[in-house]
Amino acid sequence: MRNLPLTDPGTPDHSSPGRFLWWMARGQARTLAGGMAFGIVWMGAQAVMPAVLGRAIDRGVAARDGDQLLLWAAVMLGLGLVQAGSGIMRHRFAVTNWLVAAYRTVQLVGRQAVHLGGTLPRKVSTGEVVAIGTSDLSHLGQVMDVSARFSGAVVSFFLVSVILLSTSVPLGLVVLVGVPLMMLLIGPLLRPLNRRSAHQRQLMGDLANSATDIVSGLRVLRGIGGEQVFLDRYRRQSQTTRQAGVRVARVQSVLDALQVFLPGFFVVLVVWLGARAAAAGSLTAGELVAFYGYAAFLVIPLRTVTEFANKFIRARVSARRVCTVLALRPDHTDPAAPAPSPPPGAELRDARSGLRVRPGRLVAVACDRPDESALLADRLGMAAAELDDEVTLGGVPLTALRRAEVRRRVVVSDTGSALFSGRLGDGLDLSGRGEQAVREALATASAEDVLEALPEGLDTEVAERGRSFSGGQRQRLVLARVLAADPEVLVLVEPTSAIDAHTEARIAARFRRHRVARPDRSTVVVTTSPLLLDAADEVVLLDGGEVCASGTHAELLETCPAYRAVVTREVAEAVG
């Protein structure tokens, strides 16, 4: 059995959906082979059972031989035990195969999301990624699950065919010809099912994306009275998705009906032919009973084969979506010859805007256009869509360094940062610096009251995206998380926008002691909050993407009307 999650999910072949599925199968070849082996034994035991029953009737009941009856009864008991044991093991391997495929998919997509960074939301919608984690991984797991029963179905079909041919050539030929014929009858339904399933999958991704956007912007929608507009739009999209699901269900219902009707019809045909042969004297009573048992048994492998075809189609659709995400490339890649690493405590500079962040200082950036300040923050963290050599660390362009080094040394926490589900302590200590560092960061972020209100403290399980916390609590915990990481350069975008003024004042005072007291740490805060601006060593005013004024908060209030307009407007809105 496998330990999950996997230590390394591997490097996938995502050139096509088929190659991706084959790569996944090779990655769990041992458990697949184990499941197939037990699946063959499990279904093979069922396939042999009618023959044993026929022998018991002919040699024991019809011949009135108690010893033979006891012998074949013991054989049936042994087969039953083998079937039960192999069935348990087959199911265990099947569940393992499902879980390994699902975990590997999640790990691959998660690793790719980390690798892409800010590129991911620019190239793929959030709903598309969410749909992979909610439905696609299930389809990929199911095709690995059914593989054990499918292999048993194929082997048992040929086993039954050999037994029937050795008993009655006409009946054996009926089975050998009839089963492929039924598969051909079902085949024309598979292509429209594939096409409609792919269309429904696309609509589900779009719907999930719309739901994510609505939930994330719910407060704004309420503020502008746009709830009803987006509700109506969501209803229309959900109805379109429902109709697509109905179209898939129509084909699926016909396929399910044929899975019952065709094997049932085939059973009736085989039993009728066997009864005619028995009436003619070419079959014994035991052989007739065996033929009936085979006809009834064949329903299982036939339905398993059609089930495999159905799940394989859905898995191909899901694999295509996963391959789309895995094929994405980040906007910025590592240089062929990375430059030497700048020394610790190096100066961060953006030549385009004129911003300079010297070590050991807290620099605040004020701007009345949030998109300009957000773009500057992305540029400082090498997360913007377009980069140049104008952002440097210690005189070395960020684009000349490895992305991993830039991410380690320059950390950007913007308004889109969220909490992860799981244990709170683990979610706050992403850098592994220990509980003491987490508690110090919580104190700086004035989040001790949040921790004290939790009965289990840092052992508390956080709900998805931290929804069990209020907006202000989430923001303070996110701030504590990035402070606990203790990066060399920290860039914060509106870190206190959802926090009351009293708590914000405490954060501003503690923040200086936490960061500025260390000469090897630099901090940039993008904000229009007077409390944070007043705590900064230097405040710069951004206009048109460039620094147009700099100084302390008090100096700029006195000498710069443009700065005063930005800050006083923020104060007016806060009071109102």
For residue 411, the 8-state DSSP code is: E
**Residues 6+ away with beta carbon under 8 Å from 409:** 393, 487, 488, 489
Kindly state the average pLDDT of the residues 517-525. 84
Kindly state the average pLDDT of the residues 475-500. 91
Where do the domains of the chain lie?
17-326, 348-575
187 neighbors 305 (Cβ within 8 angstroms): no
% pLDDT > 70, the chain: 89
> Sorting pLDDT into bands at 50, 70 and 90, what band is 570?
very low
Where does 117-168 have alpha helices with state H?
119-123, 126-131, 137-167
Whether 575 has a pLDDT exceeding 50, the answer reads no
Give the closest residue to 273 by CA, choosing from 261, 262, 282: 282
Between 167 and 391, whose confidence is greater? Answer: 391
**Residues 6+ away with beta carbon under 8 Å from 77:** none
pLDDT of residue 62: 81
322 neighbors 274 (Cβ within 8 angstroms): no
User: How much is the pTM?
Assistant: 0.69
Buried b (16+ CB within 10 A) or exposed e, 402-428: ebebbbebbbbbbbebebeeeebbebb
Cα(540)–Cα(364) distance, rounded to whole angstroms?
6
Token pair of 71 as six digits = 């012998």
445 neighbors 483 (Cβ within 8 angstroms): yes
Between strands 410-413 and 489-493, the pairing is parallel
pLDDT of residue 264: 74
Token pair of 554 as six digits = 């008090």
Placement of tokens 């203790």 in the chain: 486
Kindly state the average pLDDT of the residues 73-85. 93
Between 216 and 196, whose confidence is greater? Answer: 196
Cα(516)–Cα(523) distance, rounded to whole angstroms?
8
Between strands 538-543 and 546-551, the pairing is antiparallel
> Sorting pLDDT into bands at 50, 70 and 90, what band is 1?
low
Residue 338's Cβ-side half-sphere holds a number of Cα atoms within 13 Å equal to: 12
**Which residue type is seen at 75?**
V
Whether 2 has a pLDDT exceeding 70, the answer reads no
Token pair of 134 as six digits = 């909610």
pLDDT of residue 302: 76
Q: What are phi and psi of 30, to 5 degrees?
A: -65, -45
52 neighbors 76 (Cβ within 8 angstroms): yes
Lowest-confidence region among 9-13, 211-215, 500-504? 211-215
Give the closest residue to 482 by CA, choosing from 527, 524, 449, 421: 524
Kindly state the average pLDDT of the residues 357-373. 90
Helix (H, G, I), strand (E, B) or coil at 7: coil
80 neighbors 87 (Cβ within 8 angstroms): no
Phi-psi sector, 281: left (phi>0), alpha (psi -120 to 50), beta:
left
Token pair of 222 as six digits = 């309420």
**Residues 6+ away with beta carbon under 8 Å from 440:** 483, 484, 514
pLDDT of residue 576: 36
Give the DSSP per-residue string, 460-517.
PEEPGGGTTS-HHHHHHHHHHHHHHH--SEEEEESTTTTS-HHHHHHHHHHHIIIIIT
Instruction: Quote the crossing angle between the two packed helices 299-326 and 285-297, to the nearest 10°.
Output: 20
Q: Prior bond to 50 cis, omega within 30?
A: no
- Partner residues linked to 550 by β-bridges: 540
Whether 201 has a pLDDT exceeding 70, the answer reads no
CATH topology of domain 348-575: Rossmann fold (3.40.50)
For 170-188, the pLDDT digits (tens) are: 777 777 777 667 767 666 7
pLDDT of residue 229: 67
For 110-133, the pLDDT digits (tens) are: 899 888 887 887 788 766 777 787
Give the closest residue to 304 by CA, choosing from 160, 189, 151: 151
Kindly state the average pLDDT of the residues 194-211. 66
3-state secondary structure 412-445: EECCCCCCCCEEHHHHHCCCCCCHHHHHHHHHHC
Between 118 and 571, whose confidence is greater? Answer: 118
Token pair of 567 as six digits = 């800050």
**Which residue type is seen at 238?**
S
151 neighbors 36 (Cβ within 8 angstroms): yes
> Sorting pLDDT into bands at 50, 70 and 90, what band is 205?
low
pLDDT of residue 4: 79
> Sorting pLDDT into bands at 50, 70 and 90, what band is 357?
very high
Where does 225-298 have alpha helices with state H?
227-279, 285-297
pLDDT of residue 221: 46
Q: What are phi and psi of 241, to 5 degrees?
A: -65, -40
Angle at 489 between CA 485 and CA 493, to 5 degrees: 85
For 324-354, the pLDDT digits (tens) are: 999 998 888 889 899 999 998 899 999 999 9
Instruction: Report the mean per-residue pLDDT for the chain.
Output: 84
Surface-to-core class of residue 319, CB atoms within 10 Å of its CB (0-12 exposed, 13-18 middle, 19+ buried): buried
> Sorting pLDDT into bands at 50, 70 and 90, what band is 572?
very low
Token pair of 254 as six digits = 């016909």
Placement of tokens 């026929």 in the chain: 54
Cα(264)–Cα(489) distance, rounded to whole angstroms?
71
pLDDT of residue 8: 87
**Residues 6+ away with beta carbon under 8 Å from 58:** 284, 285, 286, 287
CATH number of 17-326: 1.20.1560.10
